[in-house]
Amino acid sequence: MEKNKLDSISRMTEEMRAVVEFEAAQSRKWAKDGFLDPFDRQAYLESRRYWNQGGPEMSEEVDETMGGPHGEIPFRLYYPGGTVGKAENHCIVYIHGGGFVVGSVDTHDGIMRRLADETGAVVAGLDYRLAPEYKFPVQIAECEALADYIRQNGAKYRVDPNRISLAGDSAGAYLSLASVLHMRDTRGDRAYVRSLLLFYGAYGLGDSMSKRLYGGAWDGLTMDALNEYNKAYANPEDEDNSYRNLFCSDLTYGIPPTYILACGLDPLLDDSRLLYEILREHGTAVKLKVFEGTIHAFLHFGRMLPQTAEAFRNCAEFYKKHG
């Protein structure tokens, strides 16, 4: 165990501890020689099957592909019940997490259905290319490409081209913000992106109090693990690029209303707090909600964790004002 960590287990809610114990038991199924490889994509997919069962039913789900800057990009559209018969719906482009190295629309299916159900928006989930086979900034280009494609084909997908938001969890939260910053800087316009919904992201802090205090076997986010994800995603010469370390970017203007969700026992907590303070100081409409007693990635665990439903409701309340 890393030195000087707080006792996160004792600080978890009762329900969160139950999830952690369940996950620890389940992970033995996917471990190889007693080791669960965080880069094992099939194991990650299998580990999410249980959590994706149940939840809201969509009126329609559509798997599509589009031509992107690095080849074909698969994506999936989720239409909640309220979108039936409407020609122009609000849309949320959703970017999944997974440390850049694992994850897909299948692993995050439950999250996207719950987000669509609570917000009433069409959710378009992106299957971007993963690291280390594809490195920064490939993923940012693909996120931006899907947002543009949905806008350009709004009539086909029953989406209002001027009512598109970006959302994501963990690595996907970073990619959402990075994409908006790149749009702003290279085009001078990101007006059609109405809001950002950022769930427990890593935005650029190499070290922080929360990274020193939290993270362990229960969330796979030790300092060593975080460093391995970063190495997989970006080359050393890119670490201070303003689209890799977003705190090297100018965050003082041109950012849409932003909802920031954070977990009280997450090593990435301080990334969210710092982002909130910068945006608030410079006049961006921003809300930070910290769910105490929860760990990173808790949005997956809706089958056992009541805080997950509360989180989606809280996010949807912000989105309905700004999305």
Residue-wise DSSP of 237-261 = GGTT-TTTSGGGS--SSS---EEEE
- How far apart, in whole angstroms, are the C-alpha atoms of residue 160 and residue 295? 35
Helical H runs in the chain? Answer: 8-11, 14-27, 41-52, 109-119, 138-152, 154-157, 171-187, 209-213, 223-233, 269-281, 306-322
Instruction: Report helix, strand or coil for 92.
Output: strand
Instruction: Provide the residue type at 137 as one letter.
Output: P
Active-site residue (options: 117, 169, 219, 266): 266
Q: How would you label 24-57 residue by residue, b for 16+ Cβ within 10 Å and e otherwise?
A: eeeeeeeeeeeebebbbeebbbebbebbbeebbe
Number of H helices, E strands in the chain: 11, 8
266 is known as an active-site residue: yes
Neighbours of 210 (CB within 10 A): 22
Residues in the chain: 323
Catalytic-labelled residue, pool 47, 170, 176, 195: 170
Could you give the dihedral angle defined by the CA atoms of residues 186, 188, 193 and 196, in that order, rounded to the nearest 10 degrees? 70
- Tell me which residue has tokens 């589009």: 66
Residue 296 annotated to the active site: yes
Report the distance separating Cα 67 and Cα 149, nearest Å. Answer: 9
Phi and psi at residue 188, to the nearest 5°: 75, 15
Residue with tokens 């999410």: 48
- Please identify which of the residues 90, 108, 296, 300 carries the catalytic annotation: 296
Q: Which residues are catalytic?
A: 170, 266, 296
